[in-house]
C-alpha cells in the first residue's frame, strides 16, 4: 500500500520557486530520506507533507487520502524537529502525554503507550525528569518518543541529529534505525548528512534546486549515479573529478572514487603527495598529478607516505564514471 504520494508538487514563496514538479510514491513501512545541500528544498518539501506549508500546486496524499486542505493535526503524521521543541515545565512523561491528552485518549491508553515508547527508547529512568535535566541525546529521544506514542501513519524527521555531537549522532542514528525495525512504520527523514542518508534509508531522494535528481537505494545511487551531482554528493571523501582528456577519454569529465585509487609502481598517473590524513583504520592521501589536479586516495590501513613523496597512482578502467558537459552520465 502507498503511504505517501506526491503528484506534481510545486511550492513558491513569492517569485522564488522552491519546489518544482515533485512526484514521489512512498510505500507503507519504507524509510525514505530526503538529502541534498542547504537550500535544495528538502525541509520545505517535508513541511508541505506535514501541512505546515501549503503546496502552490500539485497533490499530497497520505494513506490514499488527498490532504491538501487537511490541517496538520488531522493528517495522521507526527513530526520530530531539529530543536526538540519540548515543554521545559513538563516532565518527560508530561511531554510524551500531552498530544494524547489533547486527542482525548483514555488515561490507561496514555500510560500504556508511554511505557512502551519509554522501553523502546530506553527512557524509563528519565520519565519524571524535566528537559533541562537531560543531555541533548536524551532530549532527542524524548522528542522521538512523543511522536511514537501517537502511533501516526507517517513519521516525519527534520534534521533531528544536527544538534548532536558526532558520537551521539551515531548512537541516535542506530536507535532510529532500530525503532524503524521494531515499529515497521513509514518514516520520511530530512538531512544534509549523506552518511545518515546512506545508513538509514531504504531509498534516498536526492534533491537539488527544488528538483529530484535521482531516487533509489543507497547502494544504487552510490554505484550507479545518473549524473555528476549525485556522484559527487554521495560518498566520503567525495568522488574525484578530472578532465576526461587527462585519462584519454572523450567525455568532458571523468570521476573515480577515492577507494578505487591506489599507489603502485605501475600506476597510470604520476604526481606528488600534498597532504596525508592518518585516521587509524584508513589513510587519506592527496596527490597532485602532473596535469595539475589533486586526487584523494582512500587507502585501507596505515601508510607511511609523506608530503613531497613522488608516487604513481593506479586505477582500473571499470571504476571510472564519465560525464558530459552538462554533468549527465555517459554510459
> What confidence tens digit (pLDDT) does each residue in 181-205 have?
999 999 999 999 888 999 999 999 9
**For 2-230, CATH number?**
3.40.50.300
The pTM for the full model equals 0.92
Average pLDDT of the chain to the nearest whole number: 94
Of 13-27, 69-83, 219-233, the poorest mean pLDDT is in 69-83
Angle at 47 between CA 127 and CA 188, to 5 degrees: 65
pLDDT at 83: 82
Mean pLDDT of the region 117-129: 93
Q: Number of helices and strands (H, E) in the chain? A: 8, 19
Rounded to whole angstroms, the Cα distance separating 145 from 177 reads 14
Q: Hey, which of 121-125, 167-171, 213-217, 248-252 has the most confident mean pLDDT?
A: 213-217
Rounded to whole angstroms, the Cα distance separating 141 from 130 reads 13
| 170 has pLDDT over 90 | no
pLDDT at 136: 86
pLDDT at 172: 86
pLDDT at 124: 92
When pLDDT is cut at 50, 70 and 90, the band that residue 169 belongs to is: confident
| 16 has pLDDT over 90 | yes
Q: How many angstroms from the chain centroid is the CA of residue 25?
A: 18
CB-based burial, 101-120: b 16+ in 10 Å, e otherwise: eeeebeeeebeebbeebbeb
Q: Where in the chain is the domain with CATH 2.40.50.140?
A: 237-330
Per DSSP, helices labelled H in the chain are 42-50, 92-103, 107-120, 136-148, 166-183, 194-200, 218-223, 228-233
Rounded to whole angstroms, the Cα distance separating 148 from 122 reads 13
pLDDT at 52: 95
| 257 has pLDDT over 90 | yes
The neighbour count for residue 295, using CB atoms within 10 Å, is: 20
What is the C-alpha R_g of the chain?
23
Contact 285, 262 (CB under 8 A): no
When pLDDT is cut at 50, 70 and 90, the band that residue 212 belongs to is: very high
Contact 188, 26 (CB under 8 A): yes
When pLDDT is cut at 50, 70 and 90, the band that residue 33 belongs to is: very high
Sign of the C-alpha dihedral computed for residues 285, 288, 289 and 294 taken in this order:
positive
pLDDT at 84: 79
Contact 190, 291 (CB under 8 A): no
The structural architecture, per CATH, of the domain 237-330 is: Beta Barrel (2.40)
Q: Where in the chain is the domain with CATH 3.40.50.300?
A: 2-230
Residues of the chain with pLDDT > 90, as a percent, come to 85
| 58 Cβ contact partners less than 8 Å away, ≥ 6 residues apart | 6, 7, 8, 9, 10, 21, 22
Contact 60, 137 (CB under 8 A): no
Q: Using one digit for the tens of pLDDT, what is the confidence trace for 219-253?
A: 999 999 999 999 999 998 999 999 999 988 999 99
Amino acid at each position: 500500500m502507498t503511504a505517501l504520494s506526491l503528484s506534481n508538487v510545486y511550492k513558491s514563496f513569492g517569485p522564488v520557486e522552491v519546489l518544482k514538479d515533485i512526484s514521489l510514491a512512498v510505500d507503507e513501512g519504507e524509510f525514505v530520506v530526503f538529502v541534498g545541500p542547504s537550500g535544495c528544498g528538502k525541509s520545505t518539501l517535508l513541511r508541505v507533507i506535514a501541512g505546515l506549508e501549503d503546496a502552490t500546486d500539485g497533490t499530497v496524499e497520505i494513506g490514499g487520502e488527498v490532504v491538501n486542505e487537511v490541517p496538520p493535526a488531522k493528517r495522521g503524521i507526527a513530526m520530530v524537529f531539529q530543536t526538540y521543541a519540548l515543554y521545559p515545565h513538563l516532565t518527560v512523561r508530561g511531554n510524551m502525554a500531552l498530544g494524547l491528552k489533547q486527542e482525548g485518549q483514555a488515561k490507561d491508553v496514555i500510560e500504556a503507550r508511554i511505557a512502551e515508547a519509554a522501553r523502546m527508547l530506553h527512557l524509563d529512568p528519565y520519565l519524571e525528569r524535566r528537559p533541562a535535566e537531560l543531555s541533548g541525546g536524551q532530549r532527542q529521544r524524548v522528542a522521538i518518543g512523543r511522536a511514537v506514542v501517537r502511533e501516526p501513519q507517517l513519521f516525519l524527521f527534520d534534521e533531528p541529529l544536527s544538534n548532536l555531537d558526532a558520537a551521539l549522532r551515531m548512537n541516535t542514528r542506530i536507535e532510529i534505525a532500530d525503532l524503524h525495525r521494531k515499529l515497521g512504520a513509514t518514516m520520511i527523514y530530512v538531512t544534509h548528512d549523506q552518511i545518515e542518508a546512506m545508513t538509514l534509508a531504504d531509498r534516498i531522494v536526492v534533491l537539488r534546486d527544488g528538483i529530484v535528481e535521482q531516487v533509489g537505494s543507497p547502494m544504487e545511487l552510490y554505484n550507479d549515479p545518473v549524473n555528476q551531482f549525485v556522484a559527487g554528493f554521495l560518498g566520503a571523501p567525495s568522488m574525484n573529478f578530472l578532465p576526461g582528456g587527462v585519462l584519454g577519454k572523450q567525455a568532458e569529465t571523468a570521476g573515480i572514487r577515492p577507494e578505487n585509487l591506489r599507489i603502485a609502481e605501475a600506476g597510470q598517473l604520476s604526481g606528488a603527495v600534498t597532504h596525508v590524513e592518518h585516521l587509524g583504520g584508513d589513510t587519506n592521501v592527496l596527490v597532485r598529478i602532473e596535469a595539475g589536479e589533486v586526487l584523494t586516495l582512500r587507502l585501507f590501513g596505515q601508510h607511511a607516505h609523506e608530503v613531497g613523496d613522488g608516487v604513481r597512482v593506479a586505477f582500473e578502467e571499470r571504476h571510472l564514471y564519465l560525464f558530459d558537459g552538462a554533468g549527465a552520465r555517459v554510459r
